[in-house]
């Protein structure tokens, strides 16, 4: 599983996820975002298969989201 912020220096989180998926097609990705939803949300809708957790979040919230994603693996 890849956990990445949407906004990163250099590559953005979406580019990082695309490269990780190219190298490991079965990888699950969870984007973290405090402000850059536009980088992965189009017309108010997440791309198919995209998971996002908005900041701020709790460790329990993170754990629940990770478990949810991995259960659907």
Which residue's entry shows tokens 């993170």?
Answer: 62
For the chain, report the end-to-end CA distance as a whole number of angstroms: 10
Q: How many domains does the chain have?
A: 1
Mean pLDDT by 10 residues, the chain (73 residues): 86 88 94 68 61 91 95 80
- The per-residue pLDDT for 47 is 60
- The per-residue pLDDT for 13 is 84
CATH number where 23 lies: 3.40.50.2300
Cα–Cα distance measured from residue 29 to residue 22, given in angstroms and rounded to the nearest whole number:
12
- The per-residue pLDDT for 58 is 96
pTM equals 0.77
- The per-residue pLDDT for 45 is 55
Cα–Cα distance measured from residue 73 to residue 62, given in angstroms and rounded to the nearest whole number:
17
- The per-residue pLDDT for 54 is 87
Answer for the pair 51, 29: CB distance below 8 angstroms, yes or no: yes
Q: Which domain holds residue 48?
A: 2-71
């Amino acid at each position: 599983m890849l956990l990445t912020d949407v906004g990163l220096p250099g590559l953005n989180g979406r580019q990082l996820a695309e490269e990780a998926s190219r190298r490991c097609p079965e990888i699950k990705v969870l984007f973290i975002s405090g402000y850059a939803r536009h980088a992965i949300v189009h017309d108010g809708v997440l791309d198919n298969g995209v998971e996002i957790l908005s900041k701020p979040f709790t460790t329990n919230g993170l754990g629940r989201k990770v478990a949810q994603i991995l259960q659907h693996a």
